[in-house]
Structures are given as C-alpha cells and as structure tokens.
Amino acid sequence: MKRLVMIIAAVALYVLHQDFWFWRTAKPLILGFLPIGIAYHAGYTIAVSVLMWALVTYAWPGHLEEIAEDLAASPGEEVRRP
C-alpha cells in the first residue's frame, strides 16, 4: 500500500510539473510582487522536496545499506550476496 501511494504521488507531481495554465499571464501577483507562475513553482519545489524525503525515509532499499557496510568492513575483497 505504501509503495502504491509513493508511486501515485510521484506520477501526480510529474503531471503537475507541466503547468501550462500560467504561461500567458503574470497576474495575479502573490504577496503583491511574486508572479503566479513563480509562486506555483516555489510550492511545487517544496512538494517535491517532501516527496523525496518520504521516498528516502520510507522506500529506501535496505539491502543496499547492508552491502555498503560489508564493503566498508572488508575493502579490497569481493562481497557476494544472493
């Protein structure tokens, strides 16, 4: 279930990155000075950062850490994993 949520979130953010609806106008201004397209991308960047944090925290493949620890413990030797 967690994997499906992460995949849906990544696909949704990919689709939302294509913001064709703010191409032709700089109005309205957010906070009186920030064009809407730039404000949208600022919010989008924050959303992507949160998703990347969640992916690294909850979906990182743990077996890669074990291999890295084995390699660090025995440099120069080949480590075989099934």
Instruction: Output the CA–CA distances (angstroms, integers) from residue 61 to 57, 75, 82, in the order listed.
Output: 10, 22, 15
| Contact status, residue 59 vs residue 77, Cβ threshold 8 Å | no
Which pLDDT score is estimated for 21? 78
| Contact status, residue 26 vs residue 36, Cβ threshold 8 Å | yes
What are the residue boundaries of the structural domains of the chain, listed by start? Answer: 2-73
Q: Once rounded to an integer, what is the mean pLDDT over residues 56-72?
A: 80
Which pLDDT score is estimated for 79? 56
Which pLDDT score is estimated for 58? 87
The 10 Å Cβ neighbour count of residue 50 is: 12
Average per-residue pLDDT in the chain? 84
Which pLDDT score is estimated for 75? 64
pTM of the model: 0.70
